Amino acid sequence: MTPEDVVLQLKRKGTFDSLRKRLLSEFQSAPTGQSFLENTNGFMEDIVKKDDSLLDKDRTSFYEHVTTELERAKFYDSIREEILETLLKDEYYQKQVDDAIENVMSEMKPTSSTVTETQIRSGKEDTKS
């Protein structure tokens, strides 16, 4: 089994989605998340004050403009670093990923009654091992 196969299985099982949801929830309830929200609101208000015609634009144009401004201000860089230094250092996330990988690997191991891909390729479909 390749690493790509393991990742695909983890995606199918929703492992990454559940970890992402938990991480987002922790971030939003932490002081860092509250600060980020306040800064984002202030930033958005400033952008609209500079150019109130943005409110008349369609959603796609507005989104593109705001995203460009946020990236230009390196708005996400500092929060990304802070998240990497705090929340992701929590052993919980690493343990969850390790456990999920271990589960996938054990589920994918052929049993004695399973014909493996190697056996099929070699023409040895006898399941008695």
For the chain, what are the domain ranges?
3-109
CB 116 within 8 A of CB 124: no
Report the distance separating Cα 110 and Cα 106, nearest Å. Answer: 9
- The two structure tokens encoding residue 96: 């969850």
Query: Residue 41: its pLDDT value, please?
Result: 93
Q: What tens digit of pLDDT does each residue of 75-120 get?
A: 788 888 888 887 777 788 889 989 999 998 888 776 544 444 455 4
Report the distance separating Cα 71 and Cα 85, nearest Å. Answer: 21
Quick one: what percent of the chain has pLDDT higher than 90?
Answer: 35
Query: Residue 110: its pLDDT value, please?
Result: 62
Mean pLDDT of the 28-37 span = 89
pTM over 0.75: no
User: Would you say how long the chain is, in residues?
Assistant: 129
Report the distance separating Cα 40 and Cα 59, nearest Å. Answer: 18
Query: Residue 113: its pLDDT value, please?
Result: 45
Angle (deg, nearest 10), helices 91-108 and 3-13: 110
